Amino acid sequence: MTVRRVPPTAIAVAVAAALSIACSPADSRPNLVLILADDLGYRDVSIHGGGIPTPEIDQLAASGVRFTQAYSTSSVCAPSRAAILTGRYQNRFGFEFNLLEAAQAEAVAPGLPTSETTLAELLSGAGYKSAIIGKWHLGLASRFSPLSRGFDEFFGSLWSSLPYFPADKKRRVLIRGHQPHVEDEYLTDAFTREAVDFIARNRDDPFFLFLSYTAPHTPMQATRESMKGCGAWRGSRRRYCGMVRSLDHGVGRVLRALREHGIEDETLVVFTNDNGGASNNSADNRPLRGFKGGMYEGGLRVPMMMRWGGRIAEGTIYAAPVSTLDIFATFLAAAGAASPPRPIDGVDLLPFLSDPASGTPHPSLFWRRGPRSAVRVDDWKLVRRGASLELFNLASDPRERLDLSARDPRRVEALERAYAAWQSEMVQPSWKEMKPGRPAPMRERAK
């Protein structure tokens, strides 16, 4: 059984089912909100047992479904975002590595290929107003701009990260639409403010809001107020805690805006993370092994919650593997939008949540980032690092401590065949892996 509900009351299930049947297709066309954190540790939401208080994210999980085995498609930022917005493995279209962020001629600048159809484009065709607020990281050239890829509004950064405080104006280049914007507020709070404003302006019509926070990605900069609830932690971990608390506060403000405008139950909300927690920002992925950039669970498994009042029973815990690829298909199905022009890899999760006997969304999942790769089939996972192979049974060994490759060579061969079949459908990377030089100093501080 992959689904359990807390508390498991028959009444709650019956009411949810009745509401699902009673609603007409027109009534079931929800607003869509995707809230994406950046480099958040798997344990750093308190519902996962961490010490950082995240009451708003916890409440979002409690009011809908929490996925305990949700995966990103990449262990780094930009490729995973490309997959979220296309519903397709980024390896299908060459977006295997993070972008090179040096100034380049527009003719050769990399980005999300214009041949790919985005979620925003399809929702626009269904009558949705779309906005992305926060981090883009899918191309600097004008043809890759969010406003060229289906979004009606954009406020944020085309880059991977920015200072959180306004003092460093040379590095802190925000954009509203196509124009530079000078921002005086703490960055996470500014993104939250803009999201709340977008909800208020579009509350009477269907909308898609992609709130793409940069927190808690480096630089480690937190407000003193946000760190007051961070206990005895010191240094970078204390600043990280404050950044996560600001993120959690922002999630709460967005959810309250939906409630205050009377559209809480008319909105499908997803909260997740772009990849596993990073080692350079003091993230905590325990009990998972590894960090951002790697192929162990700590680099790939992410917190993920989904809420839709009256459609998803409160307190649901879903234990089968799912992917951030599935956000694309789930949103399209909920909106009744047209299908994409080419096959996708994600699946609509709603039928699996309503019918526990409907099977498993993903019997197999795959990852590739240069010489590093992984494949999961059922509970078995094969990790490749160059010429090295490791085999783990995630059901009995979720921490990936016991390599079983020498004991079970036939299973290794079977997983290698599955990976080879998947890889035969992928293309070569469109650019080389980023080899960043030493960044200019950026002071870590509180204000």
Could you list the active site residues? 77, 137
Gap between the Cα atoms of 123 and 151, Å rounded: 9
Indicate the burial class of 22 (C-beta count within 10 angstroms; 0-12, 13-18, 19 or more): exposed
The 10 Å Cβ neighbour count of residue 351 is 13
CB 196 within 8 A of CB 206: no
Query: Residues near 69 by Cβ (< 8 Å), separated by ≥ 6?
Result: 301, 319, 320, 321, 322
- In sequence order, what are the beta bridge partners of 365? 376
Question: What does DSSP assign to residue 148?
Answer: G
Gap between the Cα atoms of 27 and 172, Å rounded: 42
Gap between the Cα atoms of 171 and 156, Å rounded: 13
Gap between the Cα atoms of 19 and 442, Å rounded: 52
Gap between the Cα atoms of 426 and 89, Å rounded: 8
Cα dihedral sign, 351-5-395-96: positive
